[in-house]
């Protein structure tokens, strides 16, 4: 993927580093085992495992089996070699991230068109189309792969191998197959899974929890939308000035630290995570249970982004290698949850 706003060379040591390969694979293993155990023992798929003849009659089992087929197709598609590297291209998952949730929700709506499911379909579609639009205007469908995957591949190539008998290129291909195509696509299905509870015959009618979920979803969608728009406007103007050889002024630091970005270093991700907890609340409203088997979906979405050396730290590693003032920004501003800037660090 080639960004239409430009790129910045990484020349600094950085304040955050990429996770070591054992950490990446260990985290992936924990996620896959947990999802497998919960879905096999606590979800309706347990009945499918006990009696294969019931699989196609159950909405969740049907969706899960169809999704496993999608995973295989995505992996095969990713094996198209990138001409400059000869390795697989994981970017296809980025392009599916914003589309699969609402597609799956509307598939459930066609079978069980309940008011709750329709509301969930409308909200997830609004999120998906907005995120897809944001991806398009940044060049996400222009061909090639996202620069983050390029940097992550370099990290693999420069890391000590886990298995001496396998090349680092093989390690990356295993990472693509297991962590990207399998684990991340299962996370997408996981945070969409509360829609299955809304499709069940004994689902409760719309209630106050649904109203709270809808308000929270819309609020978090607004947060993500505003944050992404502020970021896009900043980077577009920055590179316009660079290309026009104009004084950079407030854009000289290279990264945005105004608007929502003055209160969170990742307000767009905060909105994204909040939306899928709101989606989980629809499942709570449908089932009447505050803790149900769909909990693992938004939980592992948070695990994908928030812990040390997770996705947010990968982003921070790249930013801190590009921008000299980013370390001060990290000292002043909350990592994810919006909060007032700290007063102790120097102001930029």
Write out pLDDT tens, residues 9-64: 666 677 878 888 888 888 899 999 999 999 999 999 999 999 999 898 899 999 99
Domain contains 120? yes
Q: Report yes or no on 181 lying in a domain.
A: yes
- Determine, yes or no, domain membership for 47: yes
Domains contained in the chain, number:
1
Give residue 143's pLDDT: 61
H helix intervals, 138-207: 147-157, 168-175, 185-192, 194-198
- Higher-confidence residue of 223 and 136: namely 223
pLDDT at 346 over 70: no
195 has a pLDDT exceeding 70: yes
Residue 347 pLDDT > 50: no
At 264-314, the pLDDT tens digits run 999 999 999 999 999 999 999 999 999 999 999 999 999 999 998 888 998
Strand, helix or coil at 261?
A: helix
Q: Is residue 6 part of a domain?
A: no
User: What tokens appear for 131 in the block?
Assistant: 């995120």
Site of tokens 């599916």: 96
Residue 289: both structure tokens together: 């249970």
Query: What burial class does residue 67 get, using C-beta atoms within 10 Å of its C-beta: 0-12 exposed, 13-18 middle, 19+ buried?
Result: middle
Q: Is residue 345 part of a domain?
A: no
Judge whether residue 7 has pLDDT over 60.
yes
Q: Is the pTM of this model over 0.85?
A: yes
Q: Where are the alpha helices (DSSP H) in the chain?
A: 21-41, 45-50, 59-78, 91-97, 100-111, 115-137, 147-157, 168-175, 185-192, 194-198, 208-244, 267-287, 296-305, 311-322, 326-332
Rounded distance between C-alpha atoms, residue 159 and residue 331, angstroms = 29
* Residue 306, SS3 per DSSP: coil
What is the spatial distance between Cα 217 and Cα 279, in angstroms, rounded to a whole number? 7
233-260: pLDDT as tens digits:
999 999 999 999 999 999 999 999 999 9
Residue 1 lies inside a defined structural domain of this protein = no
> Is 279 within a domain?
yes
Specify which of 74-78, 118-122, 339-343 reaches the highest per-range mean pLDDT.
Answer: 118-122
Q: Are 296 and 38 in contact (CB under 8 A)?
A: yes
Residue 165 confidence (pLDDT) = 65
Whether 224 is in a domain gets the answer yes
Report pLDDT for 264: 98
Predicted confidence at residue 35, as pLDDT, reads 95
297, 191 in Cβ contact below 8 A?
Answer: yes
- For residues 267 and 259, give the distance between their C-alpha atoms in angstroms, rounded to a whole number: 10
Domain span at residue 257 reads: 22-332
| CA dist., res. 267 & res. 236, Å (int) | 19
Share of the chain above pLDDT 90, in %: 67
Q: Report the interhelical angle of 296-305 vs 267-287 (nearest 10°).
A: 170
Write the Ramachandran bin of 161: left for phi over 0, alpha for psi from -120 to 50, otherwise beta.
beta
Which of 309, 332, 249, 304 is closest to 97 using CA atoms? 304
């Amino acid at each position: 993927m080639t960004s239409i706003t430009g790129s910045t060379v990484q020349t600094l040591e950085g304040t955050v580093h990429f996770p070591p390969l054992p950490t990446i694979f260990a985290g992936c293993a924990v996620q896959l085992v947990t999802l497998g155990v919960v879905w096999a023992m606590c979800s309706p798929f347990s009945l499918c495992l006990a009696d294969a003849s019931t699989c196609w009659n159950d909405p969740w089992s049907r969706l899960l089996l169809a999704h496993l087929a999608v995973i295989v197709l995505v992996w095969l598609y990713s094996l198209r070699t990138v001409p400059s590297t000869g390795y697989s291209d994981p970017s296809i998952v980025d392009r599916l991230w914003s589309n699969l949730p609402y597609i799956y929700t509307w598939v459930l709506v066609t079978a069980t068109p309940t008011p709750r499911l329709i509301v969930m379909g409308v909200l997830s579609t609004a999120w998906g189309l907005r995120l897809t639009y944001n991806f398009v205007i940044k060049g996400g469908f222009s061909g090639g792969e996202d620069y983050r995957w390029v940097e992550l591949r370099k990290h693999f190539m420069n890391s000590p191998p886990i298995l001496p008998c396998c090349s680092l290129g093989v390690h990356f291909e295993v990472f693509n197959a297991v962590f990207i195509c399998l684990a991340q696509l299962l996370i997408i299905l996981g945070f969409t899974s509360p829609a299955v509870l809304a499709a069940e015959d004994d689902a409760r009618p719309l209630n106050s929890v649904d109203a709270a979920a809808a308000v929270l979803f819309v609020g978090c969608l607004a947060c993500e939308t505003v944050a992404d728009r502020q970021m896009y406007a900043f980077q577009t103007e920055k590179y316009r000035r660079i290309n026009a050889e104009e004084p950079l002024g407030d854009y000289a630091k290279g990264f945005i630290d105004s608007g929502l970005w003055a209160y969170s270093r990742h307000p767009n991700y905060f909105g994204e995570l909040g939306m899928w907890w709101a989606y989980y609340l629809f499942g709570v409203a449908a089932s009447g249970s505050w803790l149900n088997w769909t909990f693992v979906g938004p939980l592992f979405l948070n695990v994908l982004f928030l812990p040390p050396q997770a996705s947010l730290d990968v982003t921070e590693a790249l930013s801190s290698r590009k921008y000299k003032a980013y370390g001060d920004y990290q000292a002043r501003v909350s990592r994810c949850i919006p909060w007032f800037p700290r007063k102790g660090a120097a102001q930029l």
